[in-house]
Amino acid sequence: MDPISSIPTVTQREQWTVEEMVSEIYQLFSSVPHHAQTIMLELRRDQHIEFLTRGLRQLGPSFRVLDANRPWLCYWILHSIALLGESIFSDLENNSIDFLNRCQDPDGGYGGGPGQLPHLATTYAAVNALMTLGGQKALSSINRDKMRTFLLRMKDPSGGFRMHDGGEMDVRACYTAISVASVLNILDPELVENVGNYILSCQTYEGGIAGEPGSEAHGGYTFCGLATMILINESQRLDLRSLIDWVAFRQGVECGFQGRANKLVDGCYSFWQGAVFALIQRLNSIIVEQLRALDVGGSLSWRSICTGAASNLSEGECGSDVKSYQTDERFHAKQKEFSDIGLNFIKIPAELGPLFHSVALQQYILLCSQVQDGGFRDKPGKHRDYYHTCYCLSGLAVCQYSWCKDADSPPLPKAVLGPHSNLLEPIHPLFNVVLHRYYEAHNFFMGS
């Protein structure tokens, strides 16, 4: 053996360190009595609410580095509180709405703070935060006419979107723009034109989606790309089989997800990767058509995809034979308008169980990412923050509802790891807002 090739790389050393820390936690968990395991798996609701509410009221001076991300802080905190089924005091609600209104640019969009230039990322965060708050005051504060003007200004002739005036163009920009337009009922052919071509150019040989053409597939961009293609009714253009393969292999021995090949596990990908499967579960008919197109010798079936993935609750629950999956005309029909795609999508029955190990992912979130004093972290050894709290809780919700046949059904008891008090509110996986707030916003803007 070449002596140089036997020297561990920095990446290998870091991976071994993480595996050792996670293994120690799992060994401790397996060594204690059942009642102690239940306590270890308990979602620390009170501590999380205290941590989140404190951040909404006052942030310390160390947060000055996030001055251009203040709508994000609002969204991460408000969404986390909503996932826990709690609401905030009226003074905090009014203060949040007033603050976000000060971040709204006179020419459309939202900046990272009052007086800052409008940016698609903070626009998405602000709209999601206001949607999470709900109610007339929050929803009516969004200037939809100016928003459409801003989104069109960000549109690039190539089909993609730029994050801000003169800014970078990537898949994240496409998703944030299309998501906002969909929610506000201002999505139209002019905004959608050639977006699908740009997203398609970012799907890599690996199967995942990169931030821009020629880059490496990444979990966050894969979610953004797939969600965008669904919202513009072009998901059938992606190679969904290779996309499923790539995402499935991102769940590692730690039970959590990594964002890219040969990278470390990170709690935030519980949503970014996990939610991809929540979307895939409602694309049965499209995937079956792609399999049929490939199935020259008759060896491929939807079951072969299922059994190759982590079917984790019981044998045989993965799905039926291909013949059971008929084309869903509600999704496939040529849309004259884009306003109802988000609503129609969530109403499509999930005829397939999760293609990832949902119970194992909950184990990683609750035992390795959860901080006992409140909040969630990337991985053991890291500090808690509002970003990881938001996306760990979002990923936990994805897991808990991953076996539901339809969006409005309660989850199976066996799908929720730990005590039933761990159950969170369901989310709309395309937008990552709690479902009942999405319904409220949809009805509000459809009537505007």
At 345-367, the pLDDT tens digits run 999 988 778 899 999 999 999 99
Q: Point out the catalytic residue in the list 74, 103, 202, 268.
A: 268
pLDDT exceeds cutoff 50 at 320? no
Burial 308-345 (b: 16+ CB within 10 A, else e): ebbbbbeeeebbeebeebeebeebeeeeeebbebbebb
pLDDT exceeds cutoff 90 at 440? yes
pLDDT exceeds cutoff 80 at 308? no
Rounded Cα distance, 288 and 227, in Å? 19
The model's confidence at residue 311, banded by pLDDT at 50, 70 and 90, is very low
By CB neighbour count within 10 A (0-12 exposed, 13-18 middle, 19+ buried), where does 173 fall? Answer: buried
Q: Point out the catalytic residue in the list 385, 390, 399, 438.
A: 385
Answer whether 366's CB lies under 8 Å from 256's CB. Answer: no
The model's confidence at residue 144, banded by pLDDT at 50, 70 and 90, is very high
Q: Which residues pair with 203 in a beta bridge?
A: 209
pLDDT exceeds cutoff 50 at 334? no
pLDDT of the residue at 362? 99
pLDDT of the residue at 298? 53
pLDDT exceeds cutoff 60 at 253? yes
Q: How far is CA 124 from CA 32, 44, 247, 355, 412, in A?
A: 44, 29, 24, 28, 32
**For this structure, is 378 an active site residue?**
yes
**For this structure, is 268 an active site residue?**
yes
- Per DSSP, 67 falls in state G
Contacts of 231 (CB under 8 A, 6+ apart): 178, 179, 182, 187, 338, 341, 342, 430
Of the given ranges (179-188, 318-327, 358-367), which has the lowest mean pLDDT?
318-327
**For this structure, is 260 an active site residue?**
yes
36 Rama class: left (phi>0) / alpha (psi -120 to 50) / beta: alpha
CA 164 to chain centre: 22
pLDDT of the residue at 332? 44
Helix or strand or coil: residue 419? coil
Q: Point out the catalytic residue in the list 269, 387, 401, 438.
A: 269
Interval 203-221: pLDDT, tens = 999 999 999 999 999 999 9
pLDDT of the residue at 321? 34
DSSP string, 326-354: ---HHHHSPPS-STTHHHHHHHS---S--
pLDDT exceeds cutoff 50 at 323? no
The model's confidence at residue 19, banded by pLDDT at 50, 70 and 90, is very high
> How is residue 39 written in tokens?
């306590």
Answer whether 311's CB lies under 8 Å from 353's CB. Answer: yes
Counting Cα atoms < 13 Å in the Cβ hemisphere of 431 gives 37
**For this structure, is 405 an active site residue?**
no
Q: Point out the catalytic residue in the list 155, 198, 266, 391.
A: 266
Taking Cα atoms as reference points, which of 264, 250, 72 lies closest to residue 172?
A: 72
Q: Point out the catalytic residue in the list 162, 388, 428, 442.
A: 388
Q: Point out the catalytic residue in the list 162, 260, 384, 442.
A: 260
**For this structure, is 269 an active site residue?**
yes
Q: Point out the catalytic residue in the list 119, 164, 172, 218.
A: 218
pLDDT exceeds cutoff 90 at 316? no
Q: Which residues pair with 433 in a beta bridge?
A: 428
**For this structure, is 385 an active site residue?**
yes
pLDDT of the residue at 302? 54
**For this structure, is 79 an active site residue?**
no
Interval 53-96: pLDDT, tens = 999 999 999 999 999 999 999 999 999 999 999 999 999 999 99
Mean pLDDT computed over 288-296: 82
**For this structure, is 224 an active site residue?**
no
Rounded Cα distance, 405 and 385, in Å? 33
Rounded Cα distance, 13 and 20, in Å? 11
Rounded Cα distance, 288 and 272, in Å? 24
**For this structure, is 156 an active site residue?**
no
Contacts of 222 (CB under 8 A, 6+ apart): 208, 209, 243, 246, 247, 272, 273, 276
Mean pLDDT computed over 219-226: 99
Q: For the chain, what is the largest distance between any 2 Cα atoms, rounded to a whole number of angstroms?
A: 70
pLDDT of the residue at 317? 36
CATH code of 61-356+432-446, in short, is 1.50.10.20
pLDDT exceeds cutoff 90 at 3? no
> How is residue 286 written in tokens?
């499209």
- Name the residue ranges covered by the structural domains of the chain: 61-356+432-446
Mean pLDDT computed over 142-171: 98
For 212, other C-beta atoms within 10 Å of its C-beta total: 16
Mean pLDDT computed over 106-111: 98
pTM for this prediction? 0.92
Rounded Cα distance, 22 and 10, in Å? 19
Q: Point out the catalytic residue in the list 224, 378, 391, 404.
A: 378
Of the given ranges (235-249, 323-337, 374-388, 403-417), which has the lowest mean pLDDT?
323-337
Answer whether 378's CB lies under 8 Å from 344's CB. Answer: no
Rounded Cα distance, 74 and 80, in Å? 10
- Nearest 5°: the CA angle 285, 423, 386 is 95
Q: Point out the catalytic residue in the list 155, 263, 379, 384.
A: 263
Q: How far is CA 418 from CA 27, 35, 268, 358, in A?
A: 17, 10, 20, 13
By CB neighbour count within 10 A (0-12 exposed, 13-18 middle, 19+ buried), where does 98 fall? Answer: exposed
Q: Does residue 28 or residue 323 have the better pLDDT?
A: 28
